[in-house]
Amino acid sequence: MVNVLRAVGLSVMLTVLGWIGPAHAGFVMGAASLTDALQSAGEAFEKETGSTLTFSFAGSAVIARQVAQGAPAGVVALADAAWMDYLVTQSAVEEGTVVLLASNELVLVTPAGDAAPLALTPEAIAARLGAGRFAIAEPETIPAGRYGKQALETLGLWSKVSARLAPMEHVRVALASIARGEVPLGLVYATDAQVEPRVAVVARIPATAHKPIEIPMALTPQADETARAFYAYLQTPTGQAVLARYGFKVSGL
C-alpha cells in the first residue's frame, strides 16, 4: 500500500528525518484534489512493478513552496499551471519534463440532503445560502479558489458570496466542511464532489467562465528511478484511465 505523508509541517519533518538532499525513493508530492486518483494509480503501479511510492498532498501553493525550498520530491503534480511556472523559474523541476497530466471542472455543491438543482443567478444563490456561509478554497492563493472567484465574477455572482465567504486552506477542506453540513453551499472541483457521497452537485460552472483548469506534472532534478517510472506510468493509457475514472479530463479518453 502506498505511504501517505501529511504536508503540514513537512519541511520540519523532512529535516528531522534527514531527507533534505537526495530524493526519498518514489516520493510524489501532489495537489490535494489529486489525492484519490494518484493514490489509486500508485497502488496499481506498485502491484505492477513491485516498487514502493510515498505521497504527500496539500494545496498547490504549499506543495510548490515546499519543493522550491528543497523538499525531496521526485514527481510534482499541481492543480495550477502558474505554480508550476514558479517552480520552473526556481529551477526546482527538471527542464523539459513539465507535461499536462489532466484537466478539471468546477461545480457548486451542497450537503447531500439538499440536492435540488441550483440556477446560476444571484437570487438563487442568495436563497440557497440563507444565513449561511459559502465554502471555497482561499481565493487569492489556492488554485480552486482563484478559478472559482474568476468564474463567479464572470457569472455576476461574486457579489452575492464575497461577504459570506468561508475561505479554506485547500479545496478538500472546503469539501469536508460542506459534507459535514457546516455550510449550505460551496465551490469545489468536479472530481472532489465525485469522491464524496455526502455532497450533491447542484450546478456545474461553465468552462468558459474561467481559465482552463490544467493539471501539470513534472520531475525534479533529484527524481529517482521509481519516481521517473511512475511519472511515465501516469502518461500511459492505463495511468490516464485511472485519472479518468476519478472524473479528470484526459486526452484520448
Helices (H), ranges, 92-236: 122-129, 143-154, 158-161, 171-179, 190-194, 225-233
Question: Which run of H or E residues covers position 168?
Answer: strand 165-168
28 beta partners: 55, 75
Q: Closest Cα to residue 135, out of 97, 86, 188?
A: 188
| Core vs surface per residue 51-66: b (16+ CB within 10 A) or e | bebbbbbbbbbbbbbb
33 is in an annotated binding site: yes
Report residue 83 as a C-alpha cell.
Answer: 505554480
Q: Closest Cα to residue 190, out of 156, 170, 223, 213?
A: 213
207 is in an annotated binding site: no
159 is in an annotated binding site: no
151 is in an annotated binding site: no
144 is in an annotated binding site: yes
Task: Let me know: does 145 contact 136? Beta carbons within 8 Å.
Answer: yes
Annotated binding site for molybdate: 33, 60, 144, 171, 189
- Binding site, residues? 33, 60, 144, 171, 189
